[in-house]
Amino acid sequence: MTESTGLDDFNEKVIREFRDNNGKVGGWFEGRTVLLLHHKGARTGTQRVNPLMYQKVADSYAIFASNGGDPADPKWYHNLLTSPDTVIEVDNEKIGVRARVAGPDERGPIWEKQMRDMPNFAEYEKTAAPREIPVIILDPVS
């Protein structure tokens, strides 16, 4: 089994649990805010879904391209840069959103709160260095 397959299997289990329980999941995600991000492969056009932790910011949602502290950005991040108009699932609702990368002034307070709320993100920042972990804002669209 490849590492990618293992992650795919993990994500599929989380996605199934999320949908079966109106957005609630257990295990490592238990008690955390989780959404499902739909995105289209930048090269392949393949539709994909990733479970991600988020932070509510006014009417928008902030997600974090931490990639578990890896020095490379996650693939979903590149996909959003290519196709920013997408859908998220929050609780049992699908919401159309447009993704944008938070600028430095906006990113600072959101990232600081995420590290306070989830100290493992501070560790991700160290292991990802010198890469700055992007904060992506998902703004609802009508």
Q: Is the pLDDT of residue 3 over 50?
A: no
Q: Name residues whose C-beta falls within 8 Å of residue 117's C-beta, 6 or more positions apart in sequence.
A: 55
Of 113, 104, 49, 107, nearest in space to 75 by CA? 49
Residue 75 has a pLDDT of: 95
What is the topology classification, in CATH, of domain 35-140? Answer: Pnp Oxidase; Chain A (2.30.110)
Whether 119 contacts 135, CB under 8 Å:
no
Residue 1 has a pLDDT of: 35
Whether 43 contacts 109, CB under 8 Å:
no
Q: Is the pLDDT of residue 4 over 60?
A: no
Residue 10 has a pLDDT of: 85
Domain boundaries, the chain: 35-140
Please name the amino acid found at residue 125.
E
Confidence of residue 5 (pLDDT cuts 50, 70, 90): low
Q: Is the pLDDT of residue 71 over 70?
A: yes
**pLDDT tens string 9-65:** 888 999 999 999 989 998 878 889 999 999 999 999 999 999 999 999 999 999 999
Residue 27 has a pLDDT of: 85
> E strands, 32-92, where?
34-40, 47-57, 60-64, 85-90
Please name the amino acid found at residue 128.
A
